[in-house]
């Protein structure tokens, strides 16, 4: 099992390093590199990894609803045999705004409602844990492993407590890369490369009310189809007015 966890950790590190390298390239040459594009690349890398490592229990699904949001994810981690912790994830890309590296779209509204409210409402309905996934680059970040911070995660509860409507009743304080990462409020993606027991301990520490699902209930869901079962699907149209994840990744306990 340790070997399998280490393989997954290396995959996550490679994904993060790729994002860290591509964001400044896209900025320099004014190349569009959106959250949706980065998320699709991330899914591709995980899917290819699953093909190359068939002994690992990794499954990727796509929402049947074509209007589902392409930068919204569900990550289902088996913490005990046939019991899963569900993480629901909103992705946000960093931008260079007048020399400051921050996340201006974190305060985005959909039909008058903040995305963080949609994310947390969905998590409550699904008894899941709401998270933000940040796609990053910061040239002045002093860390010998800085490229592993290309993809990081933070609990939405932390984002709400520190940034939501903190400037005024209608204005967010926009988080910077340094604020989220210098004190480890957002942690690298590869820190999720844990076995089931370790994941359970982490969830127990930070989120007391996580939920577990019976495996058949998780998989037998008519909202989802295996990601490459569709032919010639156009993934470019995402118009949902709710938090509605486009993709679901299931990591089995033998990871």
Q: Which residues of the chain fall below pLDDT 70? A: 1, 206, 208-210, 219-220, 228-240, 253-255
Q: Note the pLDDT of residue 126.
A: 86
Count Cβ atoms within 10 A of the Cβ of residue 53 and give its class: 0-12 exposed, 13-18 middle, 19 or more buried: middle
Residue 208's pLDDT is 66
Instruction: Say what the pTM is.
Output: 0.91
Amino acid 184: pLDDT: 85
Name the nearest CA neighbour of 154 among 123, 133, 135, 182.
133
Residue that has been written with the tokens 């058949």 in this structure:
216
> Considering its fold, how many domains does the chain have in total?
1
Q: Which domain holds residue 32?
A: 2-251
Pick from 118, 184, 120: nearest CA to 153: 184
* 3 state DSSP class of 234: coil
């Amino acid at each position: 099992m340790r070997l399998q966890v280490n393989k997954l950790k290396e995959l996550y590190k490679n994904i993060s390093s790729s994002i860290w390298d591509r964001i400044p390239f896209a900025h320099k040459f004014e190349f569009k590199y959106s959250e949706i594009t980065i998320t699709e690349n991330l899914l591709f890398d995980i899917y290819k990894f699953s093909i190359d490592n068939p002994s690992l229990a990794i499954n990727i699904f796509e929402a049947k609803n074509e209007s589902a949001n392409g930068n919204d994810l569900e990550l289902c981690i088996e913490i005990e045999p046939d019991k899963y912790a569900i993480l629901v994830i909103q992705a946000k890309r960093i931008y260079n705004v007048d020399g400051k590296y921050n996340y201006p779209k974190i305060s985005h509204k959909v039909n008058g409602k903040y995305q963080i409210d949609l994310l947390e409402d969905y998590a409550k309905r699904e008894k899941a844990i709401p998270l933000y996934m940040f796609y990053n680059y910061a040239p002045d970040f002093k860390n010998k492993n800085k490229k592993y911070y290309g993809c990081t995660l933070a609990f939405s509860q932390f984002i709400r407590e520190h940034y939501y409507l903190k400037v005024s009743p209608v204005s967010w304080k926009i988080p910077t890369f340094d604020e989220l990462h210098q004190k480890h409020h957002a942690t690298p993606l590869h820190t999720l490369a844990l076995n089931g027991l370790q994941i359970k301990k982490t969830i127990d520490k930070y989120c007391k009310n996580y939920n577990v699902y019976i495996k058949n209930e998780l998989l037998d869901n008519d909202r989802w189809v295996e990601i490459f079962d569709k032919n010639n699907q156009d993934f470019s149209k995402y118009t949902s007015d709710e938090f509605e994840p486009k993709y679901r990744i299931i990591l089995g306990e033998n990871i």
